[in-house]
Structure 1
Amino acid sequence: MSNEDITLTAGDAEVTVQPGNGGRVGGLRVGGIELLRQGERFGCFPMVPWCGRIRDGRFRDGATVHQMPLNAPPHAIHGTVRDGAWRTARVNAEEAVLTYDLVEPWPYAGRVTQQFALTPDALTLTMSVETLDSSFPAQIGWHPWFNRNLGGKDVQLAFTPAWQEERGDDHLPTGNRVDPRPAPWDDCFGMPGGVDVTLTWPGQLELKVASREEWVVVYDEQEEAVCVEPQTGPPDGLNSHPRLVTLLEPLEAATTWTWHRL
């Protein structure tokens, strides 16, 4: 199938999926209101096979050190799949499934599958990474850019993390956990009971980002948008919290966004 944009609809909700632009969600409209920042690099993109920054672009697998391109010098950021074109495996009115085969510069053969499932009041994003050969470390995450302002009102964020990963001068976790600090954030938080973050646009909409994963990066340093990014490990996690993808056990994760009008 082609990699042209896909539109899913359910009730008054409409989602645009863009296989040809990194397998991202290009738009999420509820009652005609666009919730995601628009633009080629925005919407909501998948972070695979790693999330956030890898320090100096290097990660170790056993005795082997791999070097990734430094696309956020001096680090490598947000994986490789957002830069590629995905294949549409199947699609109907309320669901789409895309696949992407990992290629260089990623050093391992693998396949990523994404499912987008829409109901009138929720969008569920599911992703898996499987190996086609040898085992390898990986991470899964999502990077949505929610519009900061809807209807003249700025979004309010509510969440109660158990800890915040202390951030070094290089924007990467130091390995220390500290009490959560006030905004502004470009920070990773721990939520052992699962990610649970509520975004409220007063008088417009309330949206909850949930995931069974326990890590979330919150980024609110830009005027136009705020990012709430559920992921399977912290930034630089290929080094600090590697999750192994094996022939018997793929890496799987999901996030669900639910909303209601105010």
Structure 2
Amino acid sequence: MINLFKSEWTRLYSKKSTWICFISIPIMLIVFTNHYLKVNTTLKVSNPQFVQSYKFPIEVFQSYSMVIFDIISIMLIALCVTDEFRSGAIRMVLIRPVKKINLFYAKFLVIIITLTVMLTAYFLLAYIIGFIAFKDTSNISLNYFKHSLTRNEVVMYSLKVYLLELLSLIAICSLIFFVSTISKTMTIAFGANLGIIVIGFIFSPMLGLLTHKNNINLIKLQWLISIPKMQMDGIQAILGESSHLFFYGVGVLLSYGILFFLINYFIYKKSDILI
């Protein structure tokens, strides 16, 4: 199993696309830095929307950056799963006495570790850039909080945001892995996975037209049908001062992760279509 993991790790990092994904991390942060610096010029420091150094990592997580990480996940998993199985490259691995289920474990673990490293680098670089580019204030206003927070409280809060975003990324990776496994071509794998994200974003506002925008059941339904929706504007709601959605939000993410992990497990354990 260890040798298989090393083999999958080498295969993933031998691809140029993997390193392009790493390079995209500072580029994304530079783009968001320029955006929020421009926004700050139109706001007063006391405005809750004003971005300061400690708040910057939280803001970039609640922007479209997590959707970009979802797309990175689609690309990496499609390359490691769909492309290798459908092109026949995986047969070089299966020539050895390797169980398909161990191959699944190795591939899934390599992907999750890689994305964890990327997200961690993104989080740490956001803090560094935040201290360099943005002003520091002693009292910091956050969404879903009635009172301002201290620097230490914001640091703890940002760590919680990071952990929940990481959990959401693992959950959606389980779904992406399933779709990529059953897809016949790279085009289908990428298109189907991207379609799931787009459809979730389309249906969420459509549901909002049918009922009051603050309806708690609507929010729950939107999160249930779209993890990216939760990634963008749900994490802060989950961690809000008086939020009652924490266990529901975490439950949805765990349900996605466990359900599709088990589906993948049975596919690799029982099916012969992968050979």
Same structural fold, with TM-score higher than 0.5 when normalized by the shorter chain: no
Give the structure with the higher percent helix: 2
* Greater relative contact order structure (CA < 8 Å, 6+ sep): 2
Higher strand share: 1
Bigger Rg over Cα: 2
Normalising by the residue count of structure 1, what TM-score does the alignment of the two structures yield?
0.29
